[in-house]
Amino acid sequence: MRWFCGMTLLLAVVLEVGSDVWAPRRASAQDRWNVPESAKKMKNPIRATATSIQKGKRLFAEHCAMCHGDAGKGDGPMAEALETKPADLTDRARMTLQSDGELFWKISKGNPPMPDFEGTLSTEEIWHLVNYLRALAR
């Protein structure tokens, strides 16, 4: 019994140390964000009506196009100067991998040089933006 407990403890230590050693390998561009699982599961409370998409479009032109470009391709006038290039939001394969909640979280929290918008925009406005991004990538 004692031997068994010792082995279990040893195994736990090995796994713990192992996860630290291997963690950097997982740091790809895709998970530069570390979006929490709970955020990914968030439901979009605003239906993607034409009105919502139109609102999102206006907000995008005002707050996002300088980096992401008018059409969302990541080629806005400020993009050139940024060390990390703005994401191409029309990349359908990449966008369909992400839930609405994930996009909402990224726009809310930002990730330098991408600014956070939770202080600037209302939650409703951010959901309109998510609806607009969905329309862009279609």
List interacting residues with ligand HEC (CB under 6 A).
32, 63-64, 66-68, 78, 82, 84, 86-87, 94, 103, 106-107, 111, 113-115, 117, 129
Q: How far is the CB of 35 from ligand HEC (least distance, A)?
A: 9
CA-to-CA distance for 108 and 113, rounded, in angstroms? Answer: 13
Q: Whose Cβ is closer to ligand HEC: residue 18's or residue 77's? A: 77
| Structure tokens given for 61 | 């032109």
By three-state DSSP, how is residue 111 classified?
Answer: strand
Work out how close the CB of 17 gets to ligand HEC at its nearest, in angstroms, rounded to a whole number: 29
| Closer Cβ to ligand HEC, 19 or 111, answer by number | 111
How big is the chain by its Cα radius of gyration, in Å? Answer: 20
Residues contacting 82, CB < 8 A, separation 6+: 67, 113
